[in-house]
Amino acid sequence: AMEDVSAKFVSQKISRTRWRPLPAAALQAPDLFATGSWDNEDNRISIWSAGDLGNAGLNGEYHGEPHLLCDIQHNGDVMDMQFLDQERIVVASSTGTVTIFRHHQNNHTLSASHRWEKAHYHVNQDTSCGGAACTGVVCNNPEIVTVGEDGRINLFRADQKDAVRTIDNADSSTLHAVTFLRTTEILTVNSIGQLKIWDLRQQRNEPSQIFSLAGDRVPLHCVDRHPNQQHIVATGGQDGMLSIWDIRQGTMPVSLLNAHEAEMWEVHFHPSDPDHLFTCSEDGSLWHWDTSTNVSEKPSFLHQGGRSTAYLSHSTINQSVVSAWLSNDPTKDRMEITNLIPNQTLSVNSLDVLGPCLVYGTDAEAIYVNRQLFA
C-alpha cells in the first residue's frame, strides 16, 4: 500500500497535521491540510494542497506530492491545532498562547486573526517567563476549549476577547489532551493516568466523573470519542497501550490493547467509519485498527457507507456489532491491525483521517498523504 502514499520533505519537525473540514454536503475527497512544527529555530503553520488528484498514473496511483500554499511564523512549538471552520485554525503554543490563524483562500495567505496571550501560565500571567505550554485544543465553533501544563481549562469563544470561563486548578497534574463528549461536556486526560469528564454548564470547578488506569498512573497523552456512540472513548499513553473506555460503566477501561513500543501521541476514530481507528507513536509506527473484519456477523447495511449506523436505534443492530470496541478482547476474532509505515524510525507525532485520506507528520521532517486508505 506504500505506493499510494506521497511524501514531502519539509525541513521541519512536524508536530501536528489536520485536514481542513469539508462542507457538510461535500462528496469530494479532502484537498487541503494544515501542519504545525516544533523543535525548530523558526516554527511555522503551513497550509498544503494534498497534491494533484487528477493526475492518476496508468495503474491508478497518484503522482502529485503535497505542495505548500502558504505559511506563517509561529511563536513556540505547535502543541496542538484544530480547524474552527473552513478558514480558521486554532493553534496551541508551548508558550501558553492560543492563536486563531485565518487562511485567506482568495490569495492563499495566512494571518493571525486573534490571540489569547498566555492563556496558560505558571505562577501569574504577568511574569515575563511564566507561560505554561498549552497542550491541547478542541473546537466546536464558536467555542474553543484549551488545556495545559498548568492544569487549567479555558473556554473561549472565537468572537470574544476574554475567556468565557476558566477552571484554574482543574487538575494538579499536566492536562495533555481534551475533546468534546457532547456540546456541553468535555473529556480531559492527564499525566497520572486519569480521564475526567467536565460539565461546562456546572459552575463548580470539579469534574463530574473521574476514570483511571489501574495501578501504574501511566501518563495519558491523547483521547478521542467514538463519533456515533458517545460513551465509547479511546485513549493512548506513555506505555503505548490503547485503552478503550465505556463511560457508562465502571471507572476503569473495558479493554487495554498492546499497541506501540513507546508513547502513543494521537488516537483517532475514523469520523464517518468508526469501526476503523488510527494511532501513531514515538516508535515510528502508525497503526490502523479495523474491527469491521468479521463480516459474517454484520448486517449488510453497515457496508453502504459510513454514517448510516448513526441513525439506527440500538434495537435494530445486533449488539455485538455496536460494541466491537467494547468486547473484552476486541482483538480475538474481530480486529485486524496493520502498521501503515513498517520501517519508519523517528516519531510519528500526528495523524488525521477524513474520508479515504490519511495525513501524518514525523520528526523525520516529512509529511505523508495516503489517499486510498480503504483501497
Which residue pairs from 339-343 have beta carbons closer than 8 angstroms and sit at least 24 positions apart in sequence?
339/285, 339/286, 339/287, 339/288, 340/1, 340/286, 340/287, 340/288, 340/370, 341/284, 341/285, 341/286, 341/368, 342/285
Region 245-249: what's the mean pLDDT?
A: 93
Check whether 343 has a pLDDT greater than 60: yes
79-83, 226-230, 347-351: range with lowest mean pLDDT: 226-230
**Model confidence, pTM:** 0.88
C-alpha cell at 274: 468508526
- Please report which confidence band the pLDDT of residue 24 belongs to, taking 50, 70 and 90 as the band edges: confident
Cα–Cα distance, 146 to 209 (Å, whole number): 19
Residue among 359, 361, 51 nearest 373 (CA) = 359
pLDDT digits (tens, 9 = 90+) for 358-368: 999 999 999 99
Tens-digit pLDDT profile for residues 308-324: 232 223 333 334 445 67
Phi, psi of 174 (to 5 degrees): -70, 130
pLDDT digits (tens, 9 = 90+) for 111-136: 999 999 999 998 766 665 678 999 99
pLDDT at residue 370, rounded to an integer: 93
- Is the confidence at residue 306, as pLDDT, over 50? no
206-212: average pLDDT: 95
Q: How far apart are CA 358 and CA 278, in angstroms?
A: 9
CA-based max dimension of the chain: 62
Residues 275-304: tens digit of each pLDDT = 999 999 999 999 999 988 654 443 333 333
Cβ of 16: how many Cβ atoms within 10 Å? 27
5-23+32-293+320-370 is a CATH 3.30.56.10 domain: no
Residue 305 has pLDDT above 70, yes or no: no
Note the pLDDT of residue 331: 58
**Helical ranges in the chain per DSSP H:** 319-322, 331-334
Length of the chain (residues): 375
Q: What is the pLDDT of residue 124?
A: 67
Whole-number average pLDDT of the chain: 86
Dihedral class, residue 31 (left if φ above 0, else alpha if ψ from -120 to 50, else beta): alpha
The answer to whether 5 and 370 are in contact (CB under 8 A) is yes
* Beta bridge mates, 186: 180, 198
What is the model's pLDDT at position 3? Answer: 59
pLDDT at 230: 92
Mean pLDDT of 218-226: 97
All three cell numbers of 134, joined, read 498549552
Phi and psi at residue 319, to the nearest 5° = -55, -30
| Higher pLDDT pick, 77 / 343 | 77
Least confident segment among 21-25, 117-121, 323-327? 323-327
pLDDT above 90 as % of the chain: 69
Read off the pLDDT of residues 231-246 as tens digits, 9 standing for 90 and up: 999 999 999 999 999 9
Confidence of residue 333 (pLDDT cuts 50, 70, 90): low
pLDDT confidence band for 332 (50 / 70 / 90): low
Q: What is the pLDDT of residue 369?
A: 94
| Nearest alpha carbon to residue 135 among 175, 191, 194, 77 | 175
pLDDT of residue 321: 43
pLDDT over threshold 50, residue 173 = yes
